[in-house]
Structure 1
Amino acid sequence: MRLLRFAAATAAASVLALLIPTTATAEPVATGLGTAFVDDQKDELSDKEIRALWTSARVEEALRNPAKPAAMRPDPVRSVRSMAPPQNLAASAPAQGFNARTPPTGASTAAEPPPTIPVSQETPAAPQDKVVGKLFFFLPDGTPSHCSAASITSANENTIWTAGHCVHLGDGSGDAGWMKHFLYVPGSRNGSEPLGSWTGAHRFAPTAWTQDGDHDEADMAAIVLNSHANHGTLVDAVGVAFGYLFTENRTDYAPVATMGYPMQGYKRADLDGMRQMYCMGNTTDASPLNPFDDRIKLDCDMGQGSSGGPFAIQAGPNDPRIVGTNSHYDADKDTRQRVSDDLFSSEHGSHAAAVINMANGV
């Protein structure tokens, strides 16, 4: 079977209460920088110029064209074109945001373990659902496309986290492989922009992705946004951001909520990419017999359109953190049809830490 990239899932209704950040904020904590292992590019257009490109017609075209899978590497061995960061490189930061006075309707209490939800459901409307949004961009050939993304704690309070294949083709094409002219809409629901939109200024992805398309360890990226003329930074407007926990050799998390805007799904015909959806469950090691493959796996039916949506855990009271990103699924090598509801994330270890450290420097 071949692994195909795609966009996946959202935040679980029963754990929405768990995923509400507190009023406190904290600076990111990181060890090492990893600048030699991350590629970056600054958009050549200004905020105003990027906005002018995104006409209603181009947005509609992008909605019909979710990010496609990158070509798989012929084997799991990284090529000599890129190097891995030190294995002890790690990064962590708590969530930041608002204090919800009451949990949303249907949320689980501390005494009730959240249910497993492998069949995606629509995220109930609530203030915290705006931590995830739709990400529009142009492919290198100029075709409008889209993924999902999430607000992430950062020193600039203006950064989103997404999949590597949502920012670069991952084919070793260098500057020619970057997506461009990003437009991020937090909390989009049925085409709405409840808080407005933000344009992308800088994007960062592991060299192991941009050069080698390494889906095992490197299908992740960060985008630092331009501040909004009226609303300021993303956190100023959204009021919430996921924290993160990027560390090596950990695959089992419970419970995990994953979020996104899928247009397709496993044995689903009702997904349209316009609604924010979620799944929830426990992650496992995607390849327990291979010590060099620490991808994480979750049962979730979301497909293309939800790429770049977060895998989030509750690290502590009111402290949801990103530990993975919707990346790919199993498909038949001949028919290219999906064969299970398994949803995979690259390991978020040293490569993810290197990326967020670079974004925190902008």
Structure 2
Amino acid sequence: MRHLPHTASARLAVVAIAAATVGVVAPAAHADTTAVELPPVVAAGPNFTQDLRAEVNYWTLAKMASVGLNDDGQDATEPQGGWDDLSTPWSVDGQGLITRTAGKLFFVQKDVDSGALIPDACSADVVTSANQSVVVTAAHCVAVHTPFDLGAPYGMGNTLVTNMVFIPGYNGAALPRGTTSTALPGTDIAPYGVWGATREWITNTWSGSADFALGHDMAAVLVANPDDPRPIAQVTGAQQIGFNQPQNQYEYMFGYPQTNERNWYWSDNNDGTRASNGEPQNLWRAFDGRTLTVTRGQSQPDAVYANDVLNTAQAPGCSGGPWMQNFDPSTGSGVQTGVNSRYQNPNQGPSPLGWLNWLQGPQMEGTHFGDEEQAVWQAAQSASL
């Protein structure tokens, strides 16, 4: 999930209920799979390099810290029972290709109605492509249009990205909390550089219902580096990508969780100061947005959205992170078949009722790549920067 201030929860609950009242209809069997391109973030032309550099240079350490760390001011904490399959920092378990291809997105969305600018953070991954320049993420990290246009303070009205950078292999351990530094990140934070987004595509379904109601929450983004002429896949490598792959598989799910207010396993969501989730204390944990984290386990299909569902203890910030099948922990490589989309609460029954609780839950739904997602990847991989 992308970061969302917890003050928005009550308003979004009203919106979700209203949306459910009018009904959630599964996509038609022969829905249009044509990918939809959003307005370019950095347009081609004589000012391309200059604008790309301005996009990258916007993200100082101070701006990264204000957007990419949690809101509660605490560093990540391990559960009393130890890290487990629900979530583990990947640095604890392994290295390999995923430490180079997975990374963190920093971006600014503009509310197209009010003009307000909304900074945020997500996760993404480099995948194989003909132009070697494609990263994939969740569509809600690039465009959102919620019912009734909630508006700017909540980052969930009618928004489009105006600035976005991707940091593959992001390591936030050296990012100080509360810094006011105008310096740019070094190799300690961005070991493979900072890459600016140039063009973005979303699924046809998301372009018409950019609010989780109909699923297909996936986007492909082209990236370039003003300081490196090579395409990103030549720098980091790339994960294989698969479409219409089998479900009910053992999955590895990666992301950069950060927002504990919406962390199902955060102590404040279990100790009576917030709505009790009833989770055992030895499972409580906190995140700070600095570290690539993995969840692993047997997934189940969601019959309504054709998504994959996995028990997880992650938090917002992991939106857009990859779901991997046939993943080899010793090499850090596999086949990416989905992206983190939203939470699911099984106590509220099967989807679409579970959609009412997308803000928080003990399960994650991952967009399972099908025909629409393949069309998005095809459009991106055949395009120029």
Q: Into which bin does the TM-score normalised by the smaller protein fall?
A: 0.5 to 0.7
RMSD over aligned Cα atoms: 3.1
Q: CA deviation at 1:251?
A: 2.6
Deviations 1:170-226 (A, max 9, x none): 4499xx632121111111112411111110010111131122126354100010012
Q: Is the 8 A contact 1:170 1:177 kept in 2?
A: yes
Gaps of 5+ in 2: 4-31, 44-50, 72-82, 111-115, 150-157, 176-188, 267-284, 349-353
Distance 2:362 2:222 in 1: 32
Q: 1:138 aligns with which of 94, 98, 108?
A: 108
Q: Which amino acid aligns with 2:255?
A: G
Residue 235 of structure 2 corresponds to residue 237 of structure 1: yes
Q: 1:182 aligns with which of 160, 164, 174?
A: 164
Q: Is the 8 A contact 2:342 2:365 kept in 1?
A: yes
Q: CA deviation at 1:257?
A: 0.7
Q: After the TM superposition, which of the residue ranges 43-52 and 197-206 deviates more from structure 2? A: 43-52
Distance 2:211 2:305 in 1: 11
Question: Which residue number in structure 2 is paired with residue 73 of structure 1?
Answer: none
Matches within 5 A, 1:10-159: 36-44=34-42, 46-64=51-69, 117-124=84-91, 126-128=95-97, 129-140=99-110, 141-159=116-134
Q: CA deviation at 1:127?
A: 4.3
Q: Which amino acid aligns with 2:342?
A: H
Distance change in 2, residues 1:52/1:339 (3 Å): closer
Q: Is the 8 A contact 1:150 1:162 kept in 2?
A: yes
Distance 2:364 2:144 in 1: 20
Q: 1:343 aligns with which of 361, 364, 375?
A: 364
Q: 1:253 aligns with which of 246, 249, 252?
A: 249
Q: CA deviation at 1:51?
A: 1.9
Aligned length: 274
Q: Is the 8 A contact 2:2 2:121 kept in 1?
A: no
Q: Which amino acid aligns with 1:119?
A: L
Q: Is the 8 A contact 2:198 2:222 kept in 1?
A: yes
Distance 2:228 2:35 in 1: 35
Residue 318 of structure 2 corresponds to residue 306 of structure 1: yes
Q: Is the 8 A contact 2:325 2:337 kept in 1?
A: yes
Q: Is the 8 A contact 2:2 2:120 kept in 1?
A: no
Distance 2:143 2:343 in 1: 19
Q: CA deviation at 1:117?
A: 4.9
- Which of structures 1 and 2 has the larger relative contact order (alpha carbons within 8 angstroms, sep 6+)? 1
- Aligned-pair identity in percent equals 21
Distance 1:310 1:170 in 2: 23
Q: 1:160 aligns with which of 87, 112, 135?
A: 135
Distance 1:352 1:183 in 2: 22
Instruction: Indicate the SS of the match to 2:117.
Output: coil
Distance change in 2, residues 1:65/1:221 (3 Å): farther
Q: Is the 8 A contact 1:38 1:354 kept in 2?
A: no
Distance 1:134 1:208 in 2: 25
Residue 344 of structure 2 corresponds to residue 330 of structure 1: yes
Instruction: Indicate the SS of the match to 1:41.
Output: coil
Q: After the TM superposition, which of the residue ranges 122-131 and 267-276 deviates more from structure 2? A: 122-131
Gaps of 5+ in 1: 8-33, 67-115
Q: Which amino acid aligns with 1:212?
A: S
Q: Which amino acid aligns with 2:95?
A: A
TM-score (norm: length of structure 1):
0.68
Distance change in 2, residues 1:60/1:154 (3 Å): same
Instruction: Indicate the SS of the match to 2:242.
Output: strand
Normalized per residue, the structure richer in helix is: 2
Distance change in 2, residues 1:51/1:214 (3 Å): closer
Matches within 5 A, 1:224-303: 224-230=222-228, 232-238=230-236, 240-247=237-244, 250-254=246-250, 256-263=251-258, 264=260, 265-268=263-266, 269-287=285-303, 292-303=304-315
Distance 2:210 2:104 in 1: 23
Q: Which amino acid aligns with 2:164?
A: F
Distance change in 2, residues 1:228/1:154 (3 Å): farther
Which protein is bigger by CA-based radius of gyration?
2
Distance 1:351 1:206 in 2: 6
Residue 382 of structure 2 corresponds to residue 361 of structure 1: yes
Q: Is the 8 A contact 2:87 2:314 kept in 1?
A: yes
Q: CA deviation at 1:132?
A: 0.4
Q: Which amino acid aligns with 2:307?
A: R
Distance change in 2, residues 1:235/1:337 (3 Å): closer
Instruction: Indicate the SS of the match to 1:271.
Output: coil
